[in-house]
Structure 1
Amino acid sequence: MTFRSPFRALVSCALLAAVAAGSAVAKDVPTTVKAVPHVRQMARHEKINERVKQGDIDLVFIGDSITQGWEGNGKDVWKKYYDKRNAANLGIGGDRTQHVLWRLENGNIDGISPKLAVLMIGTNNSNGNDNTAEEIGAGITAIVEKLRKELPEMKILILAIFPRGEKPSPQREKNAKASEIASKLADDEMVYYLDIGPNFLEEDKTLTREVMPDLLHLSPKGYEIWAESIEPHVAKLMGEQ
């Protein structure tokens, strides 16, 4: 028969309690704030890193496929508004907040000092029951905090998550709530917030395929609306006015 000393028993209980507490804490941390790579988009990630290594970047757009689309349906609008501003597109299709966090830790902002970052992220996190509005808001907050830490002289313009789907829906509501959480980050000194979503909508709050052909991604007209809507703010925050 084996006897355990009271001390060893106490230590064992303490260790088990610590492990249990650690597991509880881990479960409480939402996926939106845990930096992870988007493994199917590593080629795009490396392409962005190569652009960043070239330097001469005064403006960055950070986001998912809607941002990456500046190189597709938005290319002519980009050329009109942003080529002259030494802008870089840091958008990757399918990205969620956790993927952006990983990219910011793995080269996407290394060695550059932009004047302004335009951030629009979170819609992919809102799919199904993957994340709550609060979790998405926490992910956006983590990104802004990372940018503030690494590039303290850069201003940040947070855009509310764009509306999606033909009509108002629970998913739109979730994104709107997440955006409202993100809006509280604005101090109007280094961090700013802007909701241009209504500019994409009809009076009855519906989306047309003329603006978003698949009711999520933008058409050339949609990118024109985006650029026109933020232009006064971009000009001001980049010190052009």
Structure 2
Amino acid sequence: MTDSEKALSITPVARTEPWWQERHLQKMDEKKALNDDVDLLFLGDSITHSWEDTGAATWKKHYAHLKPLNLGYSGDCTEHLLWRLQNGEIDNLTPKLTVILIGTNNAGHRVESAQDTAAGVKAILNEVQSRLPKSKILILATFPRSKSKNAPMRKRVNAINDLVQHLTDNKNTFWLDIGHVFLTEDGTVLDTVMPDFLHLTSEQYQVWADAMQNTIARLMR
């Protein structure tokens, strides 16, 4: 691990793609339209972003009545989410629960160390705690990647999860690993679950929601 690599995961930076900039502005407008009245907040990357399309039916069924806001952006690494947190996206919100799923792009796009990615998740956790002091926070384990349990990318994700799970205290911050629901008994990811061995099918968003249901209900009481 080098200092420069570590700096990437924990140093806030905006992305330059026009769609990303437009989504940031659109989400600021959406938050304003909701009068900042949000009880369930999702933060993440493409897997969270896709609640708006691939998982839309499940989102409507499970979360629409819970005053939700989806702040997932396709392709985001930890530093991009950190920038968004520091640039207005969660200002004035008072959610009961904040759900965080981030880190897979740090491992996949940049192939950085698990320690670097965990440092990025820790920076995000600290930022959310500082800005949303009354919110409970649920960190989800990064979902399994690659077809085989022995694939280098799978091992990299497992190493990230081994570190990140120790960031929570089970008082205000919580850890949930539901990765097993996407695997066969021998640890394989099927292409009917993740066609590219990363992103979920629409049916798997229902599986995801079912796996979180009891935890979300408990933490939002």
Fold-level similarity (TM above 0.5): yes
Q: For residue 62 of structure 1, report the CA deviation from its aligned partner.
A: 0.6
SS of residue matched to 1:172: helix
After superposition, residues 72-221 of structure 1 pair within 5 angstroms as 72-127=53-108, 130-168=111-149, 169-221=151-203
Q: For residue 125 of structure 1, report the CA deviation from its aligned partner.
A: 0.5
Moved over 3 A (4+): 25-29
1:225 aligns with 2:207: yes
Partner of 2:24: 45
* Distance in structure 1 (CA, Å) of the matches to 2:125 and 2:46: 19
Q: For residue 101 of structure 1, report the CA deviation from its aligned partner.
A: 0.1
> Are the aligned partners of 1:52 and 1:110 in contact in 2 as well (CA < 8 Å)?
no
> Are the aligned partners of 2:141 and 2:179 in contact in 1 as well (CA < 8 Å)?
yes
* Distance in structure 1 (CA, Å) of the matches to 2:95 and 2:152: 36
Which one has a bigger Cα radius of gyration? 1
Q: Report Cα offsets for 1:49-89 as digits up to 9, x if no partner.
A: 11122222100111001100001110000000000001111
Matched pairs, number: 215
1:234 aligns with 2:211: no
1:67 aligns with 2:44: no
> Are the aligned partners of 1:57 and 1:86 in contact in 2 as well (CA < 8 Å)?
yes
Q: For residue 29 of structure 1, report the CA deviation from its aligned partner.
A: 4.1
Of stretches 175-184 and 154-163 in structure 1, the one that deviates more from structure 2 is 175-184
Share of identical aligned residues, percent?
Answer: 40
> Are the aligned partners of 1:210 and 1:221 in contact in 2 as well (CA < 8 Å)?
no
> Are the aligned partners of 1:114 and 1:154 in contact in 2 as well (CA < 8 Å)?
yes
SS of residue matched to 2:214: helix
**CA 155–78 in structure 1, closer or farther in 2 if over 3 Å, else same:** same
TM value normalised by structure 2:
0.93
AA of the residue aligned to 2:38 = I
Gaps of 5+ in 1: 1-24
**CA 126–26 in structure 1, closer or farther in 2 if over 3 Å, else same:** closer
> Are the aligned partners of 1:61 and 1:91 in contact in 2 as well (CA < 8 Å)?
yes
**CA 88–73 in structure 1, closer or farther in 2 if over 3 Å, else same:** same
